[in-house]
Amino acid sequence: MDHSIIVEGLTKRYGDKLALDGVSFMVERGEVFGYLGPNGAGKSTTINILSGLIEPTGGTAVIDGHDVGRERVEIKKKIGVVPETSNLYDELTLQENLVFVSKLYHVPRHLREQRIARLLDSFDLGDYKARRFRGLSKGLKRRTVLAAALVHEPDILFLDEPTSGLDVVSARTLRRMIKEFKEREITVFLTTHYIEEAGLLCDRIAILVQGKIIKTDTPRALEAAAQETPVLDVRVDNRGLLSEKALSGIPAEDIRVTGDRVRIYTRDISAAINALSRLSEETGFHITEVNTLKPSLEDAFIKVTGLSADQMKTEKEGKR
Amino acid sequence: MSLAEELEGVAAIVEKDLKAYYFKPPNISWGILFPVVLALAFSLRNPEGLSELAPGLVAMAALFGTTSMEAIVITFEKRVGAFERLLLAPVSHASIMLGKILGGAVFGLVISTVMTVLTTVFLGAQITDLLGFTAALLLTVVAHSALGALVAVSVKEVFEAQTLSNYFRFPMIFLCGVFIPLRRMPQALQIVARLLPLTYSVDAFRAVMGGAGPGLILDLAVLVVYCSALVSGSVILLKRSL
């Protein structure tokens, strides 16, 4: 297997605080690897070590065959980083920013112009190239930062909360672009606090809590592992006809009624549907909709971390 | 990493800083106004001519031109995350600091050139050794820009950088022979003055602007040592701050 990133026993200590505690994972070439975790879990510390900004206290990390401790400059040539903040230069135009970054990454002079033109085109930024970075919308800024990260055509892209704070349309555009990286065989290391986003984009997800990876798997496998008892979600008319006593006859581990919705937690879905159908004929209420609920990635996250997605989002926003 | 790539990185940072910060209209107008006001004020105070004060004024213009923006630019970029972009690029920490220092030095060079033109063309001062003057000016702007960079990498906030810069700058104006020749100061202050780079800049400018010049080579040599020490110090402090 060809791996872009190999991390073994990575540790980072700030004084008494252990930010990363023996983290190990591997990312295949061309894979979109999600790194999920609550605020302070160590996501940014990991990116900072892998991108050569800070040194680890212990462990090893190899990026595209280069050791992060010894070959930082070689690694920096191979990676593109989109930090959480859109950190280009306010006083320069969009085009000037891209030219500056291309010089900083030693893009040969004869390739600069055409490469920047291609990026402006593929990110729909052409109309704004003469505008100062300061005056761009949040969505345009994120797209420009993404274009800047690609100007030297990196093999590996680190995306730190790429859609954070964006409107729905901009976030969707950015997600489409991230999906396109996969087609171009760019390895993507993505941190996000949008759990649905990780499910949509990532081939595999690692869940990080308090500096330790506690689970790594595909989104589907994480979802499947999250729910032990299947759920039957039923919508009814004439809900008033449904008494607790009548519902107790349905073979289920738990039954919860909210408004016109009945959720039946049962290992025998068939028996539960039959019982519900009989009850409907006896009492006169109508079943208008029946669904079996699939566990979500959020369920998986809650189960593994003990923290809800909302809590995670609130923490993240509180940090800003 | 080849030398050519490192130099390309340095040049890109200098060009970007000049475009994004230094050569903005408010800074250009300040860069012209500062030496004009200073020269006018001193020419009114000394109607007989400025040849005595000109070396100190050129050194002061270089000091303020380099340090006033330099410390702010670096701390501002650190604050908004733009400095991280430089740290992520395939260039060494030394090249990043050199790019930053040379950007400030170019701005200081412009301001001190304006001051030189004013004092020589309009106020009677003379440059007697152009080569020596050029060397002294270049070393002065690099040394003091590096001092600004050193201050900037050792603090976190813009206001801290300004305060700490003033902590160095204002005593230097009074101690380093800008207004009062060193020999007229108490012995203890002369010792302190000998520890500050501006003293050697003022000395060197005096030597090449009509004054006696036996110490020029020594002044330039000391400024070279200051340049090396301050540039290296800023790189070491940057690495430690990461």
CATH of the domain spanning A228-293, picked from 3.30.70.980, 3.30.360.10, 3.30.56.10, 3.40.50.2300: 3.30.70.980
Least confident of A6-10, A81-85, B67-71, B198-202: B67-71
Residues A239, A283: contact at Cβ < 8 Å? no
Question: Is residue B52's pLDDT more than 60?
Answer: yes
- Specify burial of residue A14 (Cβ count, 10 A radius: 0-12, 13-18, 19+): exposed
Residues A298, A309: contact at Cβ < 8 Å? yes
Query: Given an 8 Å threshold on Cβ–Cβ distance, is A77 in contact with B92?
Result: no
Question: Is residue A315's pLDDT more than 60?
Answer: no
Question: Is residue B4's pLDDT more than 60?
Answer: yes
How does strand A58-63 pair with strand A66-67? antiparallel
Q: Give the pLDDT confidence of B191-201 residue by residue, as tens digits.
A: 998 999 999 99
pLDDT at A307: 63
pLDDT at B71: 83
Q: Give the pLDDT confidence of A195-249 residue by residue, as tens digits.
A: 888 888 899 999 888 899 988 988 888 877 766 677 888 888 876 767 777 788 8
pLDDT at A318: 46
Question: Is residue A313's pLDDT more than 60?
Answer: no
Mean pLDDT of A161-188: 82
Mean pLDDT of A280-287: 84
| Whole-number Å distance between alpha carbons of B222 and B216 | 10
Tell me the average pLDDT of chain A: 85
CA B69 remoteness from chain centre: 10
Question: Is residue B129's pLDDT more than 50?
Answer: yes
List beta partners, residue A54: none
Q: Give the pLDDT confidence of B109-126 residue by residue, as tens digits.
A: 999 999 999 888 887 888
List Cβ neighbours of A287 (8 Å cut-off, separation of 6 or more): A234, A235, A236, A276, A277, A280
Mean pLDDT of B10-27: 91
Question: Is residue A176's pLDDT more than 60?
Answer: yes
Amino acid at A84: E
Nearest to A81 among B9, B16, B88 (CB): B88
Is A204 in a helix, a strand, or coil? strand
Residue of B nearest to A133 (CA): B20
Amino acid at B120: T
Mutate to test the interface with B, among A72, A74, A102, A106 (most CBs of B within 10 A): A106
CATH of the domain spanning A3-225, picked from 3.40.50.920, 3.90.245.10, 3.40.50.360, 3.40.50.300: 3.40.50.300
Q: CATH 3.40.50.300 in chain A, residues?
A: 3-225
pLDDT higher at B233 or A293 = B233
Mean pLDDT of B38-60: 79
pLDDT at A320: 41
pLDDT band at residue A319 using 50, 70 and 90 as cut-offs: very low
Query: Given an 8 Å threshold on Cβ–Cβ distance, is A100 in contact with B91?
Result: no
Nearest to A73 among B8, B90, B242 (CB): B90
How many CB atoms lie under 10 A from the CB of residue A291? 10
Q: What share of chain B is helix, strand, coil (3-state, %, to 5)?
A: 80, 0, 20
Q: Where are the alpha helices (DSSP H) in chain A?
A: 43-50, 72-78, 94-104, 109-122, 138-150, 168-183, 195-201, 219-226, 244-247, 269-283, 297-305, 309-319
Q: CATH 3.30.70.980 in chain A, residues?
A: 228-293
**Which residues does chain B have within 8 Å of residue A85's beta carbon, measured at their own beta carbons?**
80-81
Predicted TM-score of the model (pTM) = 0.81
pLDDT at A115: 92
**DSSP letter at B19?**
I
pLDDT at B11: 96
Calculate how close chain A gets to B13, using CA atoms only, in Å.
Answer: 8
Name the A residues in 45-64 with CB < 8 Å from any B CB.
51-54
Q: Give the pLDDT confidence of A90-138 residue by residue, as tens digits.
A: 999 999 999 999 999 999 998 999 999 998 988 888 999 999 999 998 8
Nearest to A104 among B84, B91, B242 (CB): B91
Q: Give the pLDDT confidence of A17-32 residue by residue, as tens digits.
A: 899 999 999 999 999 9
Nearest to A106 among B8, B21, B24 (CB): B8
Q: What share of chain A is helix, strand, coil (3-state, %, to 5)?
A: 40, 30, 30
pLDDT higher at A319 or A269 = A269
Q: Which two tokens stand for residue A197?
A: 């986003």
**Which residues does chain A have within 8 Å of residue B16's beta carbon, measured at their own beta carbons?**
89, 92, 100
Nearest to B9 among A51, A90, A104 (CB): A104
Nearest to B84 among A53, A104, A105 (CB): A53
Residue of A nearest to B240 (CA): A54
pLDDT at A310: 58
pLDDT band at residue B164 using 50, 70 and 90 as cut-offs: confident
Mean pLDDT of B26-41: 80
Q: Which two tokens stand for residue B203?
A: 């000395």
pLDDT band at residue A171 using 50, 70 and 90 as cut-offs: confident
pLDDT at A35: 92
| Whole-number Å distance between alpha carbons of B136 and B58 | 11
Residue A80 sits at φ, ψ, to 5 deg, of -120, 140
**Which residues does chain B have within 8 Å of residue A77's beta carbon, measured at their own beta carbons?**
90
Query: Given an 8 Å threshold on Cβ–Cβ distance, is A91 in contact with B20?
Result: yes
Residue with tokens 């970075």: A133
Name the B residues in 4-23 with CB < 8 Å from any A CB.
5, 8-9, 11-13, 15-16, 19-21
pLDDT band at residue A13 using 50, 70 and 90 as cut-offs: very high
How large a percentage of chain A has pLDDT more than 90? 37
Question: Is residue A295's pLDDT more than 70?
Answer: no
| Whole-number Å distance between alpha carbons of B94 and B206 | 33
pLDDT band at residue B49 using 50, 70 and 90 as cut-offs: low
Residues B132, B204: contact at Cβ < 8 Å? yes
- Cβ-based contacts under 8 A for chains A and B: 65
How large a percentage of chain B has pLDDT more than 70? 96
pLDDT at A254: 82
pLDDT at B13: 96
Residue with tokens 């990493």: B1
| Whole-number Å distance between alpha carbons of A42 and B241 | 20
